[in-house]
Amino acid sequence: MHNTVAIFKKELKAFFSSPMAYIFLVVFALINGYFFNIQFFLINESDMRVLFGIIPIVYLFFIPAVSMGLISREKGIGTIEIISTLPILERDIVLGKYLAGFTLILLGLLATLIHYINLIYVGSDIDHGAIFTGYIGLALLGGVYTSIGLFASSLTENQVIAFIIGIAIVLLFFMMDKLLFFFPASMTGVIQYLSTDFHLSNMSRGVLDTRNIIYFGSIIGFFLTITIRVLESRKWS
């Protein structure tokens, strides 16, 4: 645990020692704020549904960009070889880096709470339960995409390739429930269940079902586990 915390702090410091974290937080806030304000001021609708609809799409590109260098950067400059000689488990490396990337995503998500506060201030009729579960869903979705981005980063020392792989995988999970007509009826239930958007939409409606939480947790655990295996295989190759 001590090693995990040390790597987490190192990675988080690295994020904020470069422009990346600040660029991410500012652009993420601007894009989400733009779409929310269009709805609020031009369409004269005051709810969080449009925000909950746009954030998953923004995630598709922003999270692979944030996570693409978590491991591939270490491979590119050779520090992963040094780390592998230290008494640090691959599990500690993966968890520390994952938590750092996930923390940055959560900070961006927390910044969008300003829109929720604005709705309360103007006295809108708000479904607080749906907003609460919606934010939990967005946080879990961010966790899933961060684990995927970290896995993609472990496959190559080229950050651009890691970015492309990350986008491809998160797009696959995002689009699954939108491509059901390509699959036989006997498979549609399974394909739909594997879709991240299917589970997020349930939570955005105020449904806090343990099946959705188990799904997100399982996907995160799966990608973190195979990322650990990738690093372990590198040690013995």
Domain limits, the chain: 2-236
Residue 42: what pLDDT?
61
Contacts of residue 165, defined as CB under 8 A and 6 or more positions apart, other chains included, come to: 152, 155, 156
The answer on pLDDT for 184 being more than 80 is no
Q: Which two tokens stand for residue 160?
A: 């651009």
Q: How confident is the model at residue 63 (pLDDT cuts 50, 70, 90)?
A: very high
| 86 has a pLDDT exceeding 90 | no
Question: Is residue 130 very low, low, confident or very high in pLDDT (cuts 50, 70, 90)?
Answer: confident
Question: What's the pLDDT at 84?
Answer: 66
Question: What pLDDT does 41 receive?
Answer: 64
- The model's pTM: 0.90
Q: Give, in order, the Cα–Cα distances in Å from 35 to each of 19, 43, 115.
A: 24, 11, 11
Q: pLDDT averaged over the chain?
A: 85
Cα torsion 92, 95, 98, 104 to 10°: value is -90
Task: Give me the mean pLDDT over the 137-157 stretch.
Answer: 95
Whether the predicted pLDDT of 210 surpasses 70 = yes
pLDDT(204) > 90: no
150 pLDDT band, cuts 50/70/90, is very high
The pLDDT score that the predictor gives to residue 100 is 94
DSSP class of 1 = -
Residue located via tokens 């190759």: 237
**What percentage of the chain exceeds 70 in pLDDT?**
89
d(CA 105, CA 67): 10
Cα–Cα distance measured from residue 147 to residue 227, given in angstroms and rounded to the nearest whole number: 9
Question: What letters, b where the CB count within 10 A reaches 16 and e where it falls short, cover 135-166?
Answer: bbbbebbbbbbbbbbbbbbbbbbebeebbebb
Q: Which residue has the higher pLDDT, 143 or 116?
A: 143
Pair 66, 142: CB distance under 8 Å: no
Q: Are 140 and 45 in contact (CB under 8 A)?
A: no
Element (H, E) at 128: helix 128-154
How far is CA 109 from each of CA 1, 17, 32, 223, rounded to the nearest angstrom? 26, 21, 10, 22
Quote the CA–CA distance of 206 and 125 in Å, as a whole number.
15
Nearest CA to 88 out of 102, 72, 74 is that of 74
